Amino acid sequence: MKAVLQRVSSASVKVDGKVVGKTDGGMLVLLGVKVGDTEKDADLLADKIGKLRIFSDELGKMNLSIDKIGGSFLVISNFTLLANYKNGNRPDYLEAEKPDTANRLYEYFCERLSRYAAVEKGIFGADMKVGLVNDGPITIVMDSEKLK
């Protein structure tokens, strides 16, 4: 599983012009599910993200996790994180998990992440428009393989 997480002061996702998920401060997480990923990958990634200390304390040091600031998550499924761009100029997505399995693991990941803070979501497989104000900017790329 791959994730791109951004510390945000706000983020929202729209489908057909309607806001379907948002956070007024916390993290935007783009999640890609790879062929062969399991619940263990989701557990590792969600627990690492949930405990990640990337929010500023009273001294301005990144020392607080999302639960300490009263923040929330906005999680967006994003199979393009699994792009293979090695050959040619048109990426392939053969490493992305099939939709049924990917959606199940995406939902599982969101449920696991909700142990740490409220989670709002986009709509799996929809054409989504994501807006955000990156705070910092703080952007981190994670891969569950590196956590094993």
**57 SS3 class:** coil
What is the C-alpha separation between 31 and 104, in angstroms, rounded? 13
The mean predicted confidence, pLDDT, of the chain is: 97
Asked if 71 and 25 count as a contact pair (C-beta separation under 8 A), the reply is yes
- Give the domain ranges of the chain: 2-147
Q: Are strands 26-32 and 2-15 parallel, antiparallel or unpaired?
A: antiparallel
pLDDT digits over 94-129, tens only? 999 999 999 999 999 999 999 999 999 999 999 999
Q: Domain 2-147: which CATH class?
A: alpha beta
Asked if 133 and 5 count as a contact pair (C-beta separation under 8 A), the reply is no
pLDDT digits over 51-76, tens only? 999 999 999 999 999 999 999 999 99
Sequence-ordered strand ranges (E) for 16-128: 18-23, 26-32, 55-56, 62-64, 72-77, 119-121
